């Protein structure tokens, strides 16, 4: 039986259809694509829940904040407690952070400019629902496209994040090093994505759905598939 | 009718226009009627100066579904699909408020695609500014890029390409043209027409304020010192609301509840109620009080001509109003039923229970054309077609090459396009910076095909030789598309010129249009729409922009996987030059940058051979014989070779002796901008096949060099002397980082 | 010379649309229990510490600065300068 997953469409989401198409066409999954006001009523019984990228509420006031207050996010918090994989991509990550389902903040890029480019993500842990079929140290080529993607956390929080093995990906250069040049937005410690303590809630700024097919990758790669295969593996393992 | 009437002498229309109005009406105009007629008679809305000239463009073709006259051009691309595309200018607003001007320009062009019933999937942008080093240019470039990016990214439409040209004539009057395209099922086409009396008129989206009041006729005025204080004329966009409007509109079309659809752009409500009625042979009647306004003290005429953004106009059967309302309510979008389609042929507007406007629709939509005079410009007579610069010494070429690669019109534009999302939609297979055209796949629509899109302009060529500049531009734009392996299938244009009431400007306009039209006919490519922006003239300093036609050419690939980009792929690849190089350096980057001259012969298109060359290039790419392809344009052979080397991080060695040309001069061979030339790389086994293919049409396909393992660029002249020997990483660094450095003032990597 | 603290507030013009302010009011405040809110305008604030002769001088300096350096665009924004001390 293919995975039965939910993609929540917030008011202003733009990368929702891409995520739906990638999961249907590449993974063959059964994907329900639901408007946020209807999603709050049907959110139980999914194998995984996705918060897609885009500009929910135009990113007005602060990316993700207005969406974080929607009733459906209350339900997402409850479902997440049960250990169901909850995945946030880009704007989805911002919503998870503003909903306090993941620690930290995503603030404006250091360059003060929106940035769209392909980055190298190094897998830091295989505990998370989105990396458990990978090996630590694997490098995935995944693109970013954001203006507020700079991950920030204070010293205390950062120490905990590292000690608890919650950093999932870091930006690295072609040699696999976390250099300043490899960091597209000034994120602290080149952090690109993190998970919660249990590992089921994962947020990242880059877009794996844009990297799951060779033809749309300038490097002819499809590392995004590893993200989705991991989620399936995590779910089935439970 | 109870409304203040306007004295004839106060109405801002020409004598001829007034004559036409009063001949039909035989009574005084009310204030709102006068305002509506003024706006619809403005250059921006009526195209009065250009209408007599534009029919020169060929508009027929087996693929054409909608040509000029509709909101966007529509062409049949097979597999039951249609491509919808258009480009538009937003010059004057962007010059004063670059962020909002550029943003609302994007907002406007998106609506044009949406109102044909297609989901907009790609954007292109074209900018023209003064010299890059100028602080004013930097200010404009920064905010216009942010405006385009902010709107396009937020609304979730990928940027597929664009172009930027720097020239002092655009210092005050920058030119900002934006394009959009979408793909749809042919049978879902929506037209902007109200055909059935009794149908309801629905207004969806943002509230109506004083945005852009005088916007349409404002765009027709030249920029003066007063313009800078023409506050309140710029519109503010809301891409978030636009995104919801896109989804709601597409849902409504899929639900089959839309009879007619029109976006509200120039002239706002006035345009919608008149154009839909005129197109349908019907009439419209609305209650102005139903329109949601943003400021309580707005007068009736202001509501009618407001250009507030993010508004769409729907024609809906009475029984479907509640159904479409449900769709709009789902997206929490405000909407009103403002009126009804009638059979009177008139546009009637009621306000507070009384009629305040009662005009025949055609009076608004078909104002009289203006008869402009044309006169051969004096400056053209002073030019010398035979002029050639002094030939540089051998040891000067390295320096010349470095200077050209670092010049405004050659440097990498990465600083700009990295601020645009190029990936959203999962369509883009060849992206900005990778090739001569952007390529989008159509797998989402169940097709193996691909769309190639390009924007192109060359004001220097058009300035020195309007006819040949125009023709050459068409050839160049089609070459961009052919260079990725796509057959050019249709074009739309934006014609940016100075004041059409100046006979020399109008003469130039006519010649440019003729040139483009003749080349389009030779290449068998129809025009499916266009846009004209006049009055790009700085009255204070008396500078008109150089004639700046911008072409948006679309191409079709039968198999999107066959598309190629420009980068050198491997050491040992052969480099072939297709076509002949002629002594045509007028308006070239070489003469402008190195010799600081505006003189000489502009490249001419050989109409007889043009189509054959493009067909053969597309053919060999689709047969898989080619590893990379790049067409030659600004900067000629040297820049094209170096572009390919930089993209692939591989050096090259080329021998100019082998370049077929009508001259022995090294600089001409390197920097001439003759059209219909391509660089192709290929492997040993395909070399002969390629040469033979072109030989059939008597087109030279010449082996001029190869891709080497050294990170160096080496070019030998006719006497086998190495006159160019440069480090590739050094040239790449200069080319890649100059714009970043100019804009950020640092040497930081992007 | 004495130091002053100026608050420079840049907002959209009153008759220009403010989609950010509207959305914050409609989708955040009104929807979540704060329906007594009538209107929200969004803007940007710069808190500037500067040396000047006196209040008036500080204000003049800020006025020249915001215009010359295009800190606000008079086509789309209004700018208010308050010397807070």
pLDDT digits (tens, 9 = 90+) for C33-59: 999 999 999 999 999 999 999 999 999
* Residue in C with minimal Cα distance to A66: C28
Written as six digits, the tokens of B564 are: 């190629």
The set of catalytic residues of A is: 90, 207, 209
State how far the Cα of B139 lies from the Cα of B116, in Å rounded to an integer.
35
pLDDT digits (tens, 9 = 90+) for B571-584: 999 999 999 999 99
What is the pLDDT at residue B230?
Answer: 44
Any idea which fold B564-744 has?
Answer: Phosphoribosyl-aminoimidazole Synthetase; Chain A, domain 2 (3.90.650)
Q: Which of A9, A10, A12 to mutate to test the interface with B (most CBs of B within 10 A)?
A: A12
Decide if B167 contacts B130 (C-beta within 8 A): yes
What is the pLDDT at residue B1?
Answer: 54
What is the pLDDT at residue C18?
Answer: 87
What is the pLDDT at residue B748?
Answer: 46
Range of the domain at A54: 4-237
pLDDT digits (tens, 9 = 90+) for B489-527: 999 999 999 999 999 999 999 999 999 999 999 999 999
The answer to whether A58 contacts C28, with C-beta atoms less than 8 Å apart, is no
Cβ-proximal residues to B379 (8 Å cutoff; 6+ apart), any chain: none
Decide if C48 contacts B269 (C-beta within 8 A): no
Which of A14, A117, A215 has the CB atom closest to B424's CB atom?
A: A14
State how far the Cα of B488 lies from the Cα of B748, in Å rounded to an integer.
39
Which residues of C are less than 8 Å from B97 in CB distance? 73, 75-76
Cross-strand partners of B572: none
What is the pLDDT at residue A19?
Answer: 98
Written as six digits, the tokens of B350 are: 């009621």
The answer to whether C27 contacts A57, with C-beta atoms less than 8 Å apart, is yes
Give CATH for domain C3-83: 3.30.1280.10
Q: Does B232 touch chain C (CB under 8 A)?
A: yes
> By C-alpha distance, which of A18, A196, A164 is closest to A91?
A18
Buried b (16+ CB within 10 A) or exposed e, B381-413: eebeeeebbeebeeeebbebbbebbbbbbbbbe
pLDDT digits (tens, 9 = 90+) for A114-151: 999 999 999 999 999 999 999 999 999 999 999 999 99
What is the pLDDT averaged over residues B616-622?
A: 97
> By C-alpha distance, which of B334, B362, B339 is closest to B351?
B339
Gap from B434 CA to chain A (nearest CA, Å): 9
Q: What is the mean pLDDT of chain B?
A: 93
Under the banding of pLDDT at 50, 70 and 90, the label for residue B222 is low
- Cα torsion B469, B470, B471, B472 to 10°: value is 50
CA atoms within 13 A on the CB side of A210: 31
> By C-alpha distance, which of A131, A123, A49, A39 is closest to A85?
A49
Does B461 participate in catalysis according to the annotation? Answer: no
> By C-alpha distance, which of B122, B170, B179, B227 is closest to B491?
B179
Please report, for residues B437, B485, B559, B679, B694, the alpha-carbon distance to residue B624 in angstroms, rounded to integers and kept in the order given: 18, 10, 11, 15, 16
Decide if A87 contacts A81 (C-beta within 8 A): no
Cross-strand partners of A116: A145
State how far the Cα of C9 lies from the Cα of B183, in Å rounded to an integer.
44
The answer to whether C17 contacts B294, with C-beta atoms less than 8 Å apart, is yes
The answer to whether A58 contacts C42, with C-beta atoms less than 8 Å apart, is no
Please count the residue pairs, one from chain B and one from chain C, whose beta carbons lie less than 8 angstroms apart: 46
Cβ-proximal residues to A41 (8 Å cutoff; 6+ apart), any chain: none
**At CA B611, angle to CA B607 and CA B615, rounded to 5?**
160
User: What's A189's domain CATH number?
Assistant: 3.40.50.880
The answer to whether C19 contacts B241, with C-beta atoms less than 8 Å apart, is yes
What is the pLDDT averaged over residues B71-92?
A: 96
Whole-number percent of chain B with pLDDT over 90: 87
> By C-alpha distance, which of B615, B376, B691 is closest to B502?
B376
The answer to whether A14 contacts B423, with C-beta atoms less than 8 Å apart, is no
State how far the Cα of B222 lies from the Cα of A120, in Å rounded to an integer.
50
- For chain A, residues with pLDDT lower than 70 are none
What is the pLDDT at residue B234?
Answer: 63
Mean pLDDT highest for which of B216-230, B290-304, B700-714?
B700-714
Decide if B233 contacts B213 (C-beta within 8 A): yes
Beta strand A48-51 pairing with A4-9: parallel
Which residues of C are less than 8 Å from A65 in CB distance? 28
Decide if B448 contacts B559 (C-beta within 8 A): yes
State how far the Cα of B653 lies from the Cα of B651, in Å rounded to an integer.
7
Cβ-proximal residues to B381 (8 Å cutoff; 6+ apart), any chain: none
Cross-strand partners of B505: none
Under the banding of pLDDT at 50, 70 and 90, the label for residue B8 is confident
Helix (H, G, I), strand (E, B) or coil at B630: strand
Under the banding of pLDDT at 50, 70 and 90, the label for residue B138 is very high
ipTM of the complex as predicted: 0.97
What is the pLDDT at residue A97?
Answer: 96
Q: Does B460 touch chain A (CB under 8 A)?
A: no
Which residues of A are less than 8 Å from B444 in CB distance? 21
Gap from A60 CA to chain C (nearest CA, Å): 5
Under the banding of pLDDT at 50, 70 and 90, the label for residue B233 is very low
Beta strand A167-172 pairing with A30-35: unpaired
What is the pLDDT at residue B232?
Answer: 41
Helix (H, G, I), strand (E, B) or coil at B141: helix
State the SS3 of B15-59: HHHHHHHHHHHCCCEEHHHHHHHHHHHCHHHHCCCCCCCHHHCCC
Q: How far apart are the first and last CA of chain C?
A: 14
Beta strand B428-430 pairing with B527-533: unpaired
pLDDT digits (tens, 9 = 90+) for B164-174: 999 999 999 99
pLDDT digits (tens, 9 = 90+) for B651-688: 999 999 999 999 999 999 999 999 999 999 999 999 99
What is the pLDDT averaged over residues B423-445?
A: 97
- DSSP H or E run through A172: strand A167-172
Among B298-307, B369-378, B404-413, B720-729, the minimum mean pLDDT is found in: B298-307
Which residues of A are less than 8 Å from B236 in CB distance? none
Which of C15, C73, C75 has the CB atom closest to B295's CB atom?
A: C15
Which residues of C are less than 8 Å from A57 in CB distance? 23, 27-28
What is the pLDDT at residue B3?
Answer: 65
Packing angle between helix B503-523 and helix B466-482, nearest 10 degrees?
A: 40
> By C-alpha distance, which of B727, B539, B516 is closest to B642?
B727
State how far the Cα of A104 lies from the Cα of A78, in Å rounded to an integer.
20
Q: What is the mean pLDDT of chain C?
A: 91
The answer to whether B232 contacts C17, with C-beta atoms less than 8 Å apart, is no
Q: How many domains does chain A have?
A: 1
| pTM across the whole model | 0.94
Break chain B into its structural domains and give their ranges: 564-744
What one-character DSSP code corresponds to residue A110? T
Among B127-141, B269-283, B513-527, B568-582, the minimum mean pLDDT is found in: B269-283
Q: Does B302 touch chain C (CB under 8 A)?
A: no
Q: Does A176 touch chain C (CB under 8 A)?
A: no
Instruction: Scan for tokens 């190869």, then name that residue.
Output: B706
The answer to whether C17 contacts B99, with C-beta atoms less than 8 Å apart, is no
Decide if B621 contacts B559 (C-beta within 8 A): no
């Amino acid at each position: 039986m293919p995975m039965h997953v939910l993609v929540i469409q917030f008011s202003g989401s733009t990368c929702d259809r891409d995520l739906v198409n990638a999961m249907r066409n590449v993974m063959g999954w059964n994907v329900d694509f639901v408007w946020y006001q209807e999603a709050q009523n049907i959110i139980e019984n999914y194998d995984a829940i996705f918060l897609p990228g885009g500009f929910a509420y135009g990113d007005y006031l602060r990316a993700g904040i207005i969406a974080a207050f929607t009733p459906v996010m209350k339900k997402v918090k409850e479902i997440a407690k049960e250990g169901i994989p909850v995945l946030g991509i880009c704007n989805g990550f911002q919503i998870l952070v503003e909903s306090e389902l993941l620690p930290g903040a995503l603030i404006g890029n250091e360059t003060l400019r929106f940035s769209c480019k392909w980055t190298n993500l190094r897998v830091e842990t295989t505990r998370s629902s989105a990396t458990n079929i990978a090996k630590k140290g694997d490098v995935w080529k995944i693109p970013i496209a954001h203006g507020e993607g700079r991950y920030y956390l204070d010293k205390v929080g950062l120490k905990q994040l590292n000690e608890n093995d919650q950093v999932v990906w870091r930006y690295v250069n072609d040699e696999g090093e976390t250099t300043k040049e490899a960091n597209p937005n000034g994120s602290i410690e080149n952090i690109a994505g993190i998970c919660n303590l249990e590992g089921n809630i994962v947020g990242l700024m880059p877009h794996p759905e844009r990297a799951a097919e060779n033809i749309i990758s300038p490097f002819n790669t499809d590392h995004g598939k590893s993200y989705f295969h991991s989620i399936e593996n995590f779910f089935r393992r439970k | 009718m109870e409304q203040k009437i306007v004295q004839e002498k106060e109405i801002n229309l020409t004598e001829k226009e007034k004559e036409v109005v009063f001949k039909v009406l035989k009574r005084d105009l009310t204030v709102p009627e006068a305002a509506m007629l003024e706006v619809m008679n403005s250059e921006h809305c009526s195209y009065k100066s250009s209408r007599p000239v534009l029919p020169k463009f060929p508009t027929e073709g087996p693929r054409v579904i909608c040509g000029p006259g509709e909101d966007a051009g529509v062409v049949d691309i097979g597999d039951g699909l249609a491509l919808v595309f258009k480009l538009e200018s937003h010059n004057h607003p962007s010059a004063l408020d670059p962020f909002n001007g550029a943003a609302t320009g994007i907002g406007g062009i998106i609506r044009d695609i949406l109102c044909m019933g297609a989901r907009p999937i790609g954007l292109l942008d074209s900018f023209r500014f003064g010299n890059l080093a100028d602080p004013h240019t930097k200010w404009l470039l920064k905010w216009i890029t942010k405006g385009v990016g902010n709107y396009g990214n937020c609304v979730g439409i990928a940027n597929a390409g664009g172009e930027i040209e720097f020239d002092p004539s655009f210092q005050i009057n920058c030119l900002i043209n934006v394009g959009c395209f979408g793909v749809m099922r042919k049978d879902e086409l929506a037209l902007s027409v109200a055909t059935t009396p009794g149908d309801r008129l629905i207004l969806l989206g943002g509230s109506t304020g004083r945005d852009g009041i005088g916007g349409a006729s404002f765009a027709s005025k030249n920029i003066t010192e007063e313009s800078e204080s023409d506050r309140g004329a710029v519109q503010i966009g809301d891409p978030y609301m636009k995104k919801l409007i896109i989804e709601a509109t597409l849902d409504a079309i899929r639900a089959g509840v839309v009879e007619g659809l029109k976006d509200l752009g120039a002239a706002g409500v006035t345009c919608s109620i008149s154009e839909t009625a005129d197109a349908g042979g019907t009439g419209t009647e609305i209650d102005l009080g139903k329109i949601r306004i943003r400021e309580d003290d707005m007068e009736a005429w202001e509501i009618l001509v407001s250009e507030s953004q993010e508004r769409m106009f729907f024609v809906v059967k009475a029984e479907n109003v509640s159904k479409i309302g449900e769709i709009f309510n789902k997206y929490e979008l405000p909407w009103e039923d403002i009126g009804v389609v009638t059979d009177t042929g008139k546009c009637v507007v009621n306000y507070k229970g009384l009629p305040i406007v009662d005009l025949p629709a055609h009076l608004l939509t078909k104002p009289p054309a203006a008869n402009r005079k044309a006169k051969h410009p004096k400056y053209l007579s002073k030019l010398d077609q035979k002029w050639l610069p002094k030939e540089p010494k051998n040891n000067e070429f390295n320096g010349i090459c470095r200077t050209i690669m670092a010049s405004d019109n050659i440097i990498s534009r990465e600083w700009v396009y990295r601020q645009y999302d190029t990936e959203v939609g999962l369509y883009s297979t060849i992206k900005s910076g990778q090739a001569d055209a952007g390529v989008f796949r159509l797998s989402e629509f169940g097709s193996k095909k691909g769309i190639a899109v390009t924007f192109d302009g060359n004001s220097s060529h058009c300035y020195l030789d309007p006819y040949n500049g125009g023709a050459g531009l068409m050839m160049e734009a089609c070459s961009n598309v052919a260079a990725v392996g796509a057959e050019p299938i249709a074009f739309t244009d934006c014609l940016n010129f100075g004041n059409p009431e100046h006979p020399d400007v109008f003469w130039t306009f006519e010649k440019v249009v003729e040139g483009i039209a003749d080349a389009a006919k030779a290449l068998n490519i129809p025009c499916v729409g266009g846009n004209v922006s006049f009055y790009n003239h700085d009255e204070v300093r008396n500078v008109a922009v150089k004639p700046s036609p911008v072409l948006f050419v679309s191409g079709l690939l039968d198999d999107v996987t066959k598309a190629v980009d420009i980068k050198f792929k491997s050491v040992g690849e052969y480099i072939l030059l297709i076509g002949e190089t002629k002594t045509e350096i007028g308006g070239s980057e070489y003469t402008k940058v190195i010799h600081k001259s505006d003189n000489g012969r502009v490249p001419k298109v050989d109409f007889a051979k043009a189509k054959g060359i493009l067909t053969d290039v597309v053919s060999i790419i689709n047969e898989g014989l080619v590893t990379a392809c790049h067409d030659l344009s600004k900067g000629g052979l040297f820049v094209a070779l170096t572009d390919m080397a930089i993209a692939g991080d591989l050096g090259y060695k080329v021998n100019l002796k082998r370049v077929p040309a009508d001259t022995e001069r090294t600089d001409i061979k390197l920097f001439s901008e003759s059209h219909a030339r391509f660089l192709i790389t290929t492997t040993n086994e395909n070399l002969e096949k390629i040469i033979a293919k072109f030989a059939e049409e008597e087109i030279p396909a010449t082996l001029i060099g190869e891709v080497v393992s050294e990170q160096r660029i080496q070019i030998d002249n006719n006497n086998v002397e190495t006159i160019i020997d440069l480090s590739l990483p050094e040239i790449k660094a200069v080319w890649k980082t100059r714009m970043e450095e100019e804009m950020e003032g640092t040497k930081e990597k992007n | 010379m004495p130091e002053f603290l100026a608050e420079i507030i840049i907002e959209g013009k009153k008759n220009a649309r403010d989609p950010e302010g509207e959305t914050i009011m409609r989708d955040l405040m009104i929807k979540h229990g704060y329906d007594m809110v009538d209107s929200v305008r969004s803007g940007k604030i710069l808190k500037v510490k500067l040396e000047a002769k006196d209040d008036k001088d500080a204000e003049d300096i800020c006025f020249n600065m915001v215009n010359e350096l295009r800190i606000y665009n008079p086509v789309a924004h209004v700018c208010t300068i308050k010397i807070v001390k």
